[in-house]
């Protein structure tokens, strides 16, 4: 793992992953971040690495096959970590099309370029031989498994049963990745992670949204009864799990990643109010999300026993650090909420 293509590196998890890799992986010579800078991409997340000689930013679309092939030619990647996606369930409910093109066609475009550059005989459809050490990792989600009732957990063999346009698009992409392994023998892995939290998360997602509203004494909109359950994982534990899979994952395998940390939404919201010393009267129960999955819970036995990974953060420490980060970085949140962060790219790069 010397020359990495990270897609979607200006988003929440991608930017945390770039920091994590550049701080922890001495073997990495080059890390290229391909990002379209949609509303969710924010180069401010990467200010502290922009002068790192190993880091290159490419502004572009994963669906642009010409561009993707050009950067494979130019940078000779041995590893792809594919984060870029439309990631917000609520947006997928009102605007599904872009979820299908970005999340499915985008993944297939990357897979095709990787196959063309990594297969030793790419014009031979029977060739299953690849350059040594190459790997394509698809960052997927527990939402592909659908919803759980009060008991049970998602294992890697739980049937795919997505319920939102977002999760359907992620599940479809997973199946395309699987097909590239089965048909062409591509060295791939799929990771399916539970809900992440931590710095640089776009304030449309539960934790930063509730935190920002509470700070400004605005109502905290809880969907339905607030008893839906998510399995929360600190983003840096997600990053360490991805690195573990890149190093030790068996080709063609799926690995679930979760924190053994189930919480009801209302519990999270109360914790935020409590930490901020705000009154529970700010809680506002609103109409439920259509098709809202009731409960997610990851069984992470495969990655812990086979690959030796386990989460380092307790929820208490992770939430404490996360809330502190947002409170200490009010400018970051303000620029995102006001839309000013969108000017950052043009200001930084207009003279380039």
Catalytic residues: 142-143, 166
In the range 67-126, which residues lie near ligand NAD by CB under 6 A? 83-85, 87, 102, 106
Min. distance of Cβ 128 from ligand NAD in angstroms?
27
- How far from 276 is each of 273, 324, 339, CA to CA, in Å? 5, 10, 25
- CA neighbours closer than 13 Å in the CB half-sphere of residue 12: 26
Which of ligand DAU, ligand NAD, none does 43 bind, CB closer than 5 to 8 A by kind? none
* Residue number, 8 or 249, with CB nearest to ligand NAD: 8
DSSP state of 250: P
Which of ligand DAU, ligand NAD, none does 300 bind, CB closer than 5 to 8 A by kind? none
Based on the shown chain and the rule CB under 6 A, indicate whether residue 35 belongs to the binding site for ligand NAD: yes
Q: Which residues bind ligand DAU (CB under 6 A)?
A: 87-89, 141-143, 194-195, 205-206, 209, 221-223, 228, 230, 265, 289, 296
Q: How far apart are CA 87 and CA 144, in angstroms?
A: 13
Based on the shown chain and the rule CB under 6 A, indicate whether residue 212 belongs to the binding site for ligand NAD: no
Min. distance of Cβ 12 from ligand NAD in angstroms?
4
Q: How far apart are CA 35 and CA 58, in angstroms?
A: 7
Q: Decide: residue 23, CB within 10 A, 0-12 exposed, 13-18 middle, 19+ buried.
A: exposed
Contact residue for ligand NAD among 4, 18, 21, 40 (CB under 6 A): 40
Torsion of CA 140, 141, 143, 144, to 10 degrees: 30
Based on the shown chain and the rule CB under 6 A, indicate whether residue 38 belongs to the binding site for ligand NAD: yes
DSSP state of 204: T
List helix spans (H) across the chain.
12-24, 65-75, 89-94, 96-100, 106-118, 165-184, 206-215, 235-248, 265-276, 301-307, 315-328, 330-338, 343-349
Per the CB < 8 A criterion, the answer to whether 228 and 294 are in contact is yes
Which of ligand NAD, ligand DAU, none does 221 bind, CB closer than 5 to 8 A by kind? ligand DAU
* Beta-bridge mates of residue 230: 263
Min. distance of Cβ 201 from ligand DAU in angstroms?
8
Which of ligand NAD, ligand DAU, none does 58 bind, CB closer than 5 to 8 A by kind? none
Min. distance of Cβ 343 from ligand NAD in angstroms?
15
Which of ligand NAD, ligand DAU, none does 46 bind, CB closer than 5 to 8 A by kind? none
């Amino acid at each position: 793992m010397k020359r990495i293509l990270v897609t979607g590196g200006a988003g929440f998890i991608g930017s945390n992953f770039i920091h994590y890799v550049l701080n922890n992986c001495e073997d990495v010579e080059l890390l290229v971040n391909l990002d379209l800078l949609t509303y969710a991409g924010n180069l401010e997340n990467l200010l502290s690495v922009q002068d790192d000689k190993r880091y290159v930013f490419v502004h572009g679309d994963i669906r642009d096959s010409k561009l993707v092939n050009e950067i494979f030619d130019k940078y000779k990647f041995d590893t792809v970590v594919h984060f870029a996606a439309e990631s917000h369930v609520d947006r997928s409910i009102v605007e599904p099309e872009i979820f299908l093109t970005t999340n499915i066609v985008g993944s297939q475009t990357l897979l095709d370029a990787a196959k063309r550059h990594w297969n030793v005989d790419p014009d031979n459809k029977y060739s299953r031989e690849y350059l040594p050490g190459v790997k394509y990792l698809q960052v997927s989600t527990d939402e592909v498994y659908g919803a759980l009732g009060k008991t049970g957990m998602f294992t890697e063999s739980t049937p795919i049963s997505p319920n939102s346009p977002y999760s359907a698009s992620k599940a479809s992409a997973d199946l395309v990745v699987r097909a590239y392994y089965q048909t062409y023998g591509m060295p791939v892995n799929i990771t399916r992670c539970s809900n992440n939290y931590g710095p640089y998360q776009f304030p449309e997602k539960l934790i930063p949204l509730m935190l920002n509203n509470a700070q400004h004494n605005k109502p905290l909109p809880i969907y339905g009864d607030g008893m839906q359950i998510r399995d929360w994982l600190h983003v840096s534990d997600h990053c360490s799990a991805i690195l573990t899979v890149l190093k030790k994952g068996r080709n063609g395998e799926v690995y679930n990643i979760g924190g053994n940390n189930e919480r009801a939404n209302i519990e999270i919201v109360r914790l935020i109010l409590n930490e901020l010393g705000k009154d529970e009267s700010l809680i506002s129960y609103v109409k439920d999300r259509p098709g809202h999955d009731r409960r997610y819970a990851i069984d992470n036995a495969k990655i812990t026993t086979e690959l030796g990974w386990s989460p380092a953060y307790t929820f208490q420490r992770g939430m404490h650090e996360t809330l502190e980060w947002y409170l200490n970085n009010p400018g970051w949140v303000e620029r995102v909420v006001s839309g000013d962060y969108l000017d950052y790219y043009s200001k930084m790069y207009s003279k380039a």
